[in-house]
Amino acid sequence: MRGPHNIWRLIRTGATFERTGAMRAVLDAMEAPRPLRVAARVLGWPFTWLGYRGDPSMPPITRALTALGPAYIKFGQVLSTRPDVVGQDLADQLRVLQDRLPPFSVDAAKSTIREELSVEPDSVFEEFGPPVAAASIAQVHRARLATTGEQVAVKVLRPGIERAFRRDIDAFYFAARLVELLSPASRRLKPMDVIGHFEGVVLGELDLRLESAAASEFAANTKDDRGFRVPRIVWPLSGRRVMTLGWAEGVPLGDNAALDAAGHDRRALSERVLQLFLRHALRDGFFHGDMHQGNMKVAPNGDIIAYDFGIMGYIDPYTRRVYAEILYGFIRRDYLRVAEVHFEAGYVPPDRDVHEFARALRSVGEPIFGMDATRISMGRLLAYLFEVTERFGMETRTELILLQRTMVVVEGVSRSLNPHMNIWEVARPVVEDYIKESIGPRAVVNDLIEAARVLSRFGPRLPQLIEEALIRQADTPKDEHGPSVWRRGAWTAAGAAGGAGLALLVIALV
């Protein structure tokens, strides 16, 4: 770590936070302990004059982060997905952080294209317009392909952005260690882990090949979804620092007046947005993690077009199954079964009381069922559920926090289109279809078929594996209490043999 640089950067950061009033807001939102508050005040106040002034029209926190530059803006955006770390109030403030920065020149963008793709921009693009959007990491240009005349969007990383981010991440790690040193109580927030998570997100976004791959996978998953489109990736003109994809022509989803003028049915759009998100999260386990109005347009034919795939969420099949059963339990108001699923999945420590946990879950579910349908919020239900599970020792799962955060954003988008929308009635068909697929008899058959497919690949080796297991268990010494260890091993091997025989039978049947 470069000590002098980090110290100077932190002084400038503290001074900016102090000058803009963000320091007090952050410490209050995170309920910081007194030693950390005192240290922040002592270290920041004498250097206030060194801080950036920022835009006085902005709230203190967004004003400070915007003044400090791209790395800080992106850090604020990432923290907005982690209410478990910064608290819900601060997460809400960071969620509205505007990602608008002065654009860099067209010549600089063409220079990056030339270096990255080893092509002459004027030869591959018949037209290459000025930037239409400038964000913290990259900016987007509208262009036309010389070969086909197709309109495309060209995303180009900011010059020198990789070096700038690595420099600031270095300072963030230095600050995290300093916070842990000055305030041991703050270690419960895991500052080093938070910076590590941020580094992983940013390094992924600094390689546009990864975003291109995410967009391609998302497009393949959703190709049969009616009323939804993902622009295609132009792979020959995409690389680490450049990404080219089809142009999304349409009306911004957040412009209600323009949607009405174009004759689009806002009620139908609101329902489709919510159902698409749930379908992607439950059916595919791969969903757009930043599904706000600025990342969606409505095509002239009414299709919703999604773009900007820098933040994507993934939920593994087992977790989807578990949460489907949890949701199904809530639908049936079977809170004991919901509690049991949490224990079976290992989400809640086994030393906690399952019946007490079930009563806590009832306190979450019953108020929802008694609520006016137009006021039901699935995002709020998830938030309440996470609060209860946290009290019972459930560890934080970042992929589910992103799911909750995206659910809240999608609800906001849907209700901005139709304020009287009944969230549950719109979501019910998608959820029920997934429950039938993942929990019912059809799911059991699918699981058996999948297990048979996996075991079939090991079919020729099963006799050898069983023999090796029996030999290992036979060589295990008896413990001081008798042959219990060997017996347990023998039963394990016998179970493996029985399981293998059953697997072969299933394979034969399939």
Active-site positions read 290
DSSP secondary structure code for residue 482 in this structure: B
Helices marked H in 133-265 — which ranges?
A: 161-182, 191-205, 208-221, 256-261
Contact status, residue 368 vs residue 381, Cβ threshold 8 Å: yes
Q: Which of 77, 154, 83 is nearest to 112 (CA)?
A: 154
Alpha carbon distance 239, 248 (integer Å): 20
Cα–Cα distances (Å) from 396 to 188, 286, 290, 386, 481, in that order, read 12, 20, 20, 9, 41
Contact status, residue 438 vs residue 324, Cβ threshold 8 Å: yes
Long-range contacts of 459-468 (CB under 8 A, 24+ apart): 459/504, 459/507, 462/500, 462/503, 462/504, 465/496, 465/500, 466/493, 466/496, 466/497, 466/500
Task: Collapse the DSSP code of 52 into the 3-class scheme (helix H, G, I; strand E, B; otherwise coil) and give the result.
Answer: coil
Classify residue 411 as exposed, middle or buried by CB count within 10 Å of its CB (0-12, 13-18, 19+).
Answer: buried
Residue 370 structure tokens: 């008694």
Classify residue 71 as exposed, middle or buried by CB count within 10 Å of its CB (0-12, 13-18, 19+).
Answer: buried
Cα–Cα distances (Å) from 323 to 275, 278, 318, in that order, read 17, 13, 9
Beta-carbon neighbour count of residue 419 at 10 Å? 9
Task: Collapse the DSSP code of 152 into the 3-class scheme (helix H, G, I; strand E, B; otherwise coil) and give the result.
Answer: strand
Alpha carbon distance 43, 10 (integer Å): 10
Alpha carbon distance 46, 135 (integer Å): 33
Helix 161-182 × helix 191-205 angle, to 10°: 170
Q: In terms of residues, how long is the chain?
A: 510
What does R_g of the chain's alpha carbons equal in angstroms? 27
